[in-house]
């Protein structure tokens, strides 16, 4: 019996699934790694820690679920979070930590480029909004602020490219991860010369571009022996988590959209044409030639509720975060829709779509003497979902959205799914205990192996039987409060910048005092 293994390199951890050739789950395991915030706008991860965690979780999955049941691993397919940058030397050794998607250190460079004619030209060519999330801006920041590391860099990699290189020796990047760098022309499928010039690098400092079905050579012999995998195991480079979550929900063509809420979040559509937007609010990432996944991302999804839980949850076991979250959700359910007028702006990590403001900060608004702990819980959840709704509302200006699906660990909580249905006033489909990113990677593998003729045929087989219907009365309440939420998000632009500058200024002062002390 053959099986397919999918490896998802997420923001804070790794998920590994083993599927049989009918798409049934044989087994799955998770592992975690930390993100370091050494300064308010910095978010970094240790690439060696991610690689070791990958090997550890994969080996455990093989030993617990694959080898004992006599499955032969036919292929391993990767997915990963987008927008990471890792500088490596001539030998492929990391020159420091990887910079993640949530890092905002290049916000000054992004503000200047976004307001320039070159910024609009690059957005049209690459489909990547001009924002510090973009590897284009991160590399430009390294050139200006870390010139020694910049000069020592042989290649700038994504985390997925680094892991695949460690396993196989090949430097490859798939179209979807590449098109999220801000360096790929999504129309010619080649590195964009103007973007390379802006970043100050050459094309040979980037990995080789490859379609998502590409096999990245053989596993190095040491890993064949250590993992107990045959030499002919295919290593498919796969795609990005966002593109695979969309494919895994069967979303393709007009009228369909999917919402993902994990640590971050996004609302996405998929089709043969790009979204054109003068305000440069939407991304257009290439899944395969002629197939674009478009939409808007938020920095502030499940990670914000996890932050709230860690600060204000009542739990005796500090590692039982999921139990504490469930307790808070039960508390939130005691509060009327709209949290009796308490609003939350969830911008703890700045924000991307639709306001694209790296200086944005979190805030509670409308607080009065009646509000209790439970109101803050519900307002926090509603604030995260108001932001998701604001992206879908902007997307609806470009495309008609008739049906919605939802995926991701936070988005598939029944309480949250009902809130999404009420805010959008549309039915929301999903399948419980279903992981769309990993299943999307399985669909890619199954298509490459000939089980399906095309990704379109594969997507048509996806079934999402659970439906949450909207409550029109709840929608009316949310519509009233969302109007204020939307105004606050834009009216506070100057105040966001002022507090962001002060936080940066006093963080620098603290560092100076510590060093001198």
Contacts of 59 (CB under 8 A, 6+ apart): 226, 227
CB 126 within 8 A of CB 192: yes
Q: How far is the CA of 175 from the CAs of 53, 179, 240, 264, 349, in angstroms?
A: 25, 6, 9, 21, 27
Question: What digits encode the pLDDT tens for the residues 238-281?
Answer: 999 999 999 999 998 878 899 999 888 999 999 999 998 889 99
pLDDT of residue 321: 80
Query: Which H or E run includes 221?
Result: helix 221-227
DSSP-assigned letter for residue 340: G
CB 90 within 8 A of CB 96: no
| Coil/strand/helix, residue 302 | helix
Low-confidence ranges of the chain (pLDDT < 70): 315-319, 508-517
Could you say which of 2.40.110.20, 3.30.420.40, 3.50.50.60, 3.40.50.2300 is the CATH number of the domain covering 255-269+296-436+465-516? 3.30.420.40
pLDDT of residue 90: 97
CB 173 within 8 A of CB 236: no
- Sign of the dihedral defined by the CA atoms of residues 422, 427, 432, 436, in that order: negative
pLDDT of residue 318: 58
Query: Which H or E run includes 55?
Result: helix 47-61
Question: What digits encode the pLDDT tens for the residues 310-325?
Answer: 899 876 665 678 888 9
Q: pTM for the whole thing?
A: 0.91
DSSP string, 234-270: EEEEEEEHHHHHHHHTT--STEEEEEEESSSEEEEEE
pLDDT of residue 409: 85
**Domain 2-232 identical in fold to domain 255-269+296-436+465-516:** yes
Kindly report the CATH number that applies to the domain delimited by 2-232: 3.30.420.40
Q: How far apart are CA 57 and CA 59, in angstroms?
A: 6
Q: How far apart are CA 465 and CA 28, in angstroms?
A: 22
Contacts of 429 (CB under 8 A, 6+ apart): 403, 404, 405, 406, 464, 465, 466, 467
Domain range summary for the chain, segments of one domain joined by +: 2-232, 255-269+296-436+465-516
């Amino acid at each position: 019996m053959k099986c397919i293994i999918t490896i998802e390199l997420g923001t804070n951890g790794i998920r590994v699934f083993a599927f049989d050739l009918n798409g049934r789950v044989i087994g799955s395991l998770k592992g975690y790694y930390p993100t370091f915030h050494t300064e308010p706008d910095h978010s970094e991860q240790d690439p060696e820690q991610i690689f070791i965690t990958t090997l550890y979780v994969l080996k455990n999955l093989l030993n617990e679920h694959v080898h004992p049941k006599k499955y032969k691993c036919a292929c391993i397919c990767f997915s990963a979070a987008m927008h990471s940058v890792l500088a490596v030397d001539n030998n492929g050794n990391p020159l420091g930590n990887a910079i993640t998607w949530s890092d905002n250190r290049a916000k000054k460079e992004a503000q200047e480029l976004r307001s320039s004619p070159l910024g609009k030209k690059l957005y049209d060519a690459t489909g990547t909004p001009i924002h510090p999330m973009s590897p284009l801006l991160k590399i430009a920041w390294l050139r200006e602020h870390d010139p020694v590391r910049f000069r020592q860099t042989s290649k700038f990699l994504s985390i997925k490219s680094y892991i695949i290189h460690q396993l196989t020796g090949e430097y490859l990047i798939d179209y979807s991860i590449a098109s999220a760098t801000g360096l790929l022309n999504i129309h010619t499928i080649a590195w964009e010369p103007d973007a390379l010039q802006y970043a100050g690098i050459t094309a040979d400092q980037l990995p080789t571009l490859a379609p998502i079905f590409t096999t990245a050579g053989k596993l190095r012999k040491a890993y064949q022996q250590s993992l107990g995998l045959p030499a002919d195991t295919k290593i498919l480079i796969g795609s990005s988590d966002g593109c695979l979550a969309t494919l895994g929900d069967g979303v393709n063509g007009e009228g369909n959209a999917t919402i993902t809420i994990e640590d971050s979040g996004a609302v996405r559509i998929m089709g043969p044409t790009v979204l054109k937007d003068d305000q440069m609010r939407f991304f257009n990432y290439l899944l395969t030639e002629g197939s674009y996944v478009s939409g808007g991302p938020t920095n502030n999804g499940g990670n914000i509720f996890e932050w709230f839980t860690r600060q204000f949850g009542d739990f005796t076991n500090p590692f039982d975060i999921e139990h504490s979250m469930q307790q808070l959700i039960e508390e939130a359910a005691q509060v009327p829709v709209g949290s009796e007028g308490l609003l939350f702006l969830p911008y703890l990590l700045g924000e991307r779509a639709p306001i694209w403001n790296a200086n944005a900060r979190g805030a509670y608004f409308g607080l009065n003497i009646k509000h209790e702990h439970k109101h803050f819980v519900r307002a926090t959840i509603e604030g995260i979902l108001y932001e998701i709704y604001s992206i879908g509302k902007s997307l609806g200006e470009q495309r008609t959205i008739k049906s919605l699906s939802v995926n991701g660990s936070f988005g598939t909580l029944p309480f949250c799914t009902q809130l999404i249905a009420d805010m959008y006033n549309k039915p929301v489909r999903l399948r419980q205990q279903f992981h769309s990113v990993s299943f999307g990677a399985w669909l890619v593998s199954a298509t490459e192996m000939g089980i399906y003729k095309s990704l379109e045929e594969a997507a048509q087989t996806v079934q999402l039987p659970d439906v949450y219907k909207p409550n029109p009365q709840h929608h009316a309440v949310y519509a009233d409060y969302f109007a204020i939420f939307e105004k606050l998000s834009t009216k506070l632009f100057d105040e966001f910048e002022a507090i962001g500058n002060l936080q940066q200024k006093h963080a620098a002062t603290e560092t100076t005092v510590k060093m001198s002390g």
